[in-house]
Amino acid sequence: MAILWTTFPPFPLRRDRGPLMRAVVCRAYGPPEDVVLGDVAEPVPGPGQLLVRVHAAAVNFPDVLLIAGKYQIRIPVPFTPGSELAGEVLAAGAGAPFAPGQRVFGATAVGAFAELALLDAASATLVPDDADLASAAAFGVTYRTAYHALRSVGQVSERDWVVVLGAAGGVGLAAVDLAVAMGARVLAAASSPEKLELCAQRGAQATVDYDRQDLKARIRELTDDSARVVIDPVGGRYSEPALRGLARGGTFITLGYAAGSIPAIPLNLVLLKGITVRGMEIRTFAADHPVEAARDLDELTQMFAAGTVRPYIGARFPLADTAAALRYVAERKVLGKVVIDVF
């Protein structure tokens, strides 16, 4: 479904204050089909900021929640959604250590679904020479989320069994990729044979279809009752059986609720099995754990530069079809990442 084309003189600046660019705009909270593509004023980089010509932007489930007004924070409308991008530096504000022409990728709260976007230089990273811009755009948010969860929160070691729910989605497949790269054993849980086959191709040693099989029983059976960590970006009815499948003393990490509901965990299970339940939110992790965040980002950047991990891009859409891309993610149809091709 193509996005309605229109013009927005008031957003983000008046017409008489500069040239225009194309951008997707959320004018009022609602479903993906309500976003529109319009002419808005080009942004101007301030101190420490980069003006980036966006070549590719990745779609994440929080983008769907933000435009619906259902995320943990509410962005005042109108705004341009999109939180991760890759492209070419056009201009650098004072103190930003980048030069025009350099290829960068990074994350921003909003603004990625546009021809031009601003990035804080502190959050921008040079794209490795052998990496394409779509892969760079798809790498940042989900892989940082998964790596913080595995490395710092779960403290995963070699040979540990890691159970990943929603394992074919953005965060899920990133967790599969990274856990495999860390030498862990992965049990991938997803909702279809197609999704599980992709997880197996990415290195998962075991799989379970949690819509057709007993998740708790299969976790215990396939891991010989030694599952040490659960990575859960899904929530809903899958969380409790996954927690029940953990070995004694295991760690359950909640990252999000793509299934649409927040589960209520019986605390007696935590008590009887000595389980640790941890939450991890990408927005606040660096502020809460600056040392671990810096270490994780350095290690993750090295892995990407070396080609040890590359995101799987399951679907690509032009900027004019951003509404369809958001709907695709909202309905959990995606395998890996969805990318918007801007240029």
Quote the tokens at residue 220. Answer: 């215990």
pLDDT attached to residue 259? 86
Question: What would the two tokens of residue 170 be?
Answer: 């953005």
Q: pLDDT band for position 338 (50/70/90)?
A: very high
* All domains in the chain, ordered by first residue: 20-141+304-341 (3.90.180.10), 154-279 (3.40.50.720)
Cross-strand pairs, 92: 50
C-beta atoms surrounding 249 within 10 Å: 10
> Which of 212-216, 239-243, 255-259 has the lowest average pLDDT?
255-259
Strands 36-41 and 103-107, bridge-based pairing: unpaired
Alpha helices (H) in 202-333, listed in sequence order:
215-222, 239-245, 267-273, 282-288, 290-305, 322-330
CB of 222 within 8 A of CB of 140? no
DSSP state of 42: P
The DSSP call for residue 213 is S
- Which two structure tokens, joined as six digits, stand for 196? 């599980």
* Pairing assessment for the beta strands 185-190 and 251-254 based on DSSP bridges: unpaired
Confidence of residue 15 (pLDDT cuts 50, 70, 90): very low
What gap in Å lies between CA 332 and CA 269, rounded to an integer?
29
Q: How many CB atoms lie within 10 A of CB 259?
A: 19
For residue 72, the model assigns a pLDDT of 84
Query: How far apart are alpha carbons 81 and 1 in whole angstroms?
Result: 17
- Hunting for tokens 């909202």 — which residue is that? 330
Contact 184, 156 (CB under 8 A): yes
pTM score over 0.85: yes
How many Å separate Cα 55 from the centre of its chain? 18
3-class DSSP state for residue 106? strand
Is 8 a residue whose pLDDT tops 90?
Answer: no
Query: In the structure, what pLDDT confidence band is assigned to residue 39 with cuts at 50, 70 and 90?
Result: very high
Which contacts qualify for 196-201: CB closer than 8 Å, 24 or more apart? Answer: 196/167, 196/168, 198/168, 198/173, 198/312, 198/335, 198/336, 199/164, 199/167, 199/168, 199/173
Q: Is-contact 144 138, C-beta < 8 A?
A: no
Averaged pLDDT, 218-229: 98
- 145-165 pLDDT, tens digit per residue, is 999 999 999 999 999 999 999
Contacts of 102 (CB under 8 A, 6+ apart): 88, 89, 126
Percent above pLDDT 70 for the chain: 95
How far, in Å, CA of 132 to CA of 339, rounded?
A: 12
- H or E stretch at 56: strand 49-59
> 312 and 302 in contact (C-beta within 8 Å)?
no
Amino acid at the residue 207: T
Two structure tokens written together for 19? 């040239």
